[in-house]
Chain A
Amino acid sequence: MLSRRRHLRGRGASSLLLLGASWLVLAGGLGAGEVVAVTAADARSEQAAAAAAHAAAAELAADPGAGALSVELQAARTACHLPEETAAPAACAPARVAAQRVARANGAGVVDFLLGPDPRDRGPEPAPGRIVAVVTVEVERGLPLLRRLCARHRPGAALCVARATAAARWG
C-alpha cells in the first residue's frame, strides 16, 4: 500500500515537472519573440531617423534659399522647430516635409524636427551655407503580446514605441 502511494506521488511530481518545463519553454519562446520585436523596431527607428535627417539635408542642398537660412540659424533667429515656431523662414517647411515623407516610407513618424548651425560655424571662422538637420522619429514596436495594451492604454510609452534621433549635415 505504502509502495503504491510512493509510486503515485512520484508520478505526480514528474507530471508537475513536465508541466512546469512546458510552461517555461512557452514563456521563453514568447519572451524571445518580444525581444526580437523590440530590437527590430529599434533598428528600424534608427534607419528611419537617419534617412529622414538625410532627406532634410538633401532638400536643403536643392533649395536656393538654404544659404540665407544658414545665416538665420547662425544668428539664432530661428531653429525651424515646426509647427511650434510660427514665424519660421520659408525654407524650413520643405525640409521638414521631406523628412516626414522619408520617415513615413520607412514606417516611422517624425516627432521632432530641428535645424541648426554647423558646429564649425561656432568657431572663429563662421561661413554661410552649412546646416545641421536633427530629426527624431518614432516607430510602433508591434509587440505580439502587448499590441492591444499599447493601442488602448499606453500609446506613447517607451515600451510601445521605439524612438531614435539622427543628424545630417549639409554644406
Chain B
Amino acid sequence: MRRSGRRGVVGPAVRGQRGAETLELVAGLPLLGIVVTALLQGAALVEEHARAAADARELVRHRVVCDHRDAPPAVVAGDPALRSARVTFTRAADPAGGTLVTATVVLAPRILLPGLPAGPESPLAARAAATMREEPC
C-alpha cells in the first residue's frame, strides 16, 4: 500500500526532467528526418550513376554497329530519362587503324534534399562514358 502510494507520486524535479527529455526527442526528430533523407538522396544518386553507365554502354553498342547507327538515343536505350539528359558521341581515329567511338551520358540528378543543385550542370549529375571500336561496314 505504501509502495504503490510512493510510485504514484511524481516530484517536480522528475517531471521537469521528463519534459526536457521529451523536448530533446522532439528536437531530434527533424535531425533524424534529415539523416534518412540524406541516405535516400545518396541511394538516388547511386542509382542515377548506374543508369547513366548502362545507358552509355547501350548507346555506344548501338552506335558502333552499322545497322543501328542512326537510331535516336532515347529509343535505343529504352530509358525515358535520356530525353532530358545530355548525350554526346565522339569519334577518334585510332593510329593503329579503325575508329573509336565514345558515348558520354550526363543525367540530371534527382534531388530529394532541398537546396542541392539540380540540372545536368550540377556537380551531382551522373556522368558515364563508354568506348567501343566502330565496326567496318
B residues near A (Cβ < 8 Å) are: 17, 35, 42, 46, 49-50, 53-54, 57, 60-61, 64, 94, 96-98, 100, 102, 130-136
User: Within the assembled complex, what's the spacing in Å between the Cα atoms of A43 and B57?
Assistant: 10
A-B contact count (CB 8 A): 63
Question: Is A62 a contact partner of B132 (Cβ separation < 8 A)?
Answer: no
User: Within the assembled complex, what's the spacing in Å between the Cα atoms of A58 and B66?
Assistant: 12
Question: Is A97 a contact partner of B136 (Cβ separation < 8 A)?
Answer: no
**Residue from the list A7, A44, A62, A102 in contact with B136, Cβ < 8 A:** A62
Query: A101 and B97 in contact (CB under 8 A), knowing A32-B42, A54-B132, A61-B136?
Result: no
Residues of A within 8 A of B100 (CB): 101-102, 105
> Binary interface profile of A, 86-108, with partner B (CB < 8 Å = 1, else 0)?
00000000100110011001100
Most buried by A among B54, B64, B132: B132
Query: A55 and B96 in contact (CB under 8 A), knowing A40-B53, A43-B53, A44-B53?
Result: no
A residues near B (Cβ < 8 Å) are: 7, 25, 32, 36, 39-40, 43-44, 47, 50-51, 54-55, 58-59, 61-62, 94, 97-98, 101-102, 105-106
Closest chain B residue to A105 by CB distance? Answer: B131
Question: Is B96 a contact partner of A58 (Cβ separation < 8 A)?
Answer: no
